[in-house]
Amino acid sequence: MTDGHDHDHGEDHDHDGTGEHEDHDHGEDHGHDHHAHDLDRVRVAIVTVTSSRTMDDDPSGEFIESALGEAAHEVSVREVIRDDFDAIQGTIDRLVSREDTDAVVTTGGTGVTPDDVTPEAVAPLFEKDLPGFGETFRRLSYEEVGTRTIGSRATAGIADGVPVFCLPGSRNAVRLGMEEIILPEIEHLTGLARREE
């Protein structure tokens, strides 16, 4: 079983896990050139989905902003919105259309309570799913919370050429997702997603 990451099967050129080795899939014969399209500075929109918190009481959003800053990336906008299908979908659709946004990171609304609808709201916006994100997040999360990780529906995909990462609402989950997955890959994914542009 693979999680779609190249280091798990030893193929430096096959980041999407398909086993294909064509030049447009990262250029096997070009050494490190498969990172030629990476963005050095990624402009990220942060969205906190919550029924109870405000901008002044948003530790998960604050952590994302701080982590991006420490990695020399830029926060293009930060918003706090309600757990509402239309509000979530409309917000993400608006943000991925902004010229100053290369990626979107959301926190909250990925659990199993009735008002947790972030995955359902963003799914119709994705032209490409990134299943390896959720798979990897839950594998890493299992090491911290055990089988409780099955209640997490963290997800990601590409919407209008912009990677969108949907993390759970807890600060620990956000720390895990940002430090272990998003920050190591965001420059590469954003560069590839906009490669044709």
Amino acid residing at 13? H
Q: What are phi and psi of 174, to 5 degrees?
A: -65, -45
pLDDT of residue 40: 87
Average pLDDT over residues 182-193: 95
Question: What architecture does CATH give domain 42-193?
Answer: 3-Layer(aba) Sandwich (3.40)
Average pLDDT over residues 132-159: 97
**How many degrees, rounded to 5, is the angle at CA 26 between CA 20 and CA 28?**
70
Which two tokens mark 69? 């800053």
| Residues 76-86: tens digit of each pLDDT | 999 999 999 99
Which of 11-20, 62-71, 127-136 is predicted least confidently? 11-20
- Looking at per-residue pLDDT, the higher value among 98 and 28 belongs to 98
In contact, 61 and 78? CB cutoff 8 Å: yes
Amino acid residing at 154? A
Which of 129-138, 151-160, 186-195 is predicted least confidently? 186-195
Would you list the domain boundaries of the chain? 42-193
- Beta strands 155-159 and 162-167, pairing class: antiparallel
| Separation CA 134–CA 168 (nearest Å) | 11
In contact, 45 and 95? CB cutoff 8 Å: yes
| Residues 113-139: tens digit of each pLDDT | 999 999 999 999 999 999 999 999 999
Q: What is the pTM of this model?
A: 0.82
Q: Going edge to edge, which strands form the sheet with 74-81?
A: 74-81, 43-49, 103-107, 162-167, 155-159, 128-129
21, pLDDT greater than 70? no
Instruction: With cut-offs at 50, 70 and 90, classify the pLDDT of residue 35.
Output: low
10, pLDDT greater than 70? no
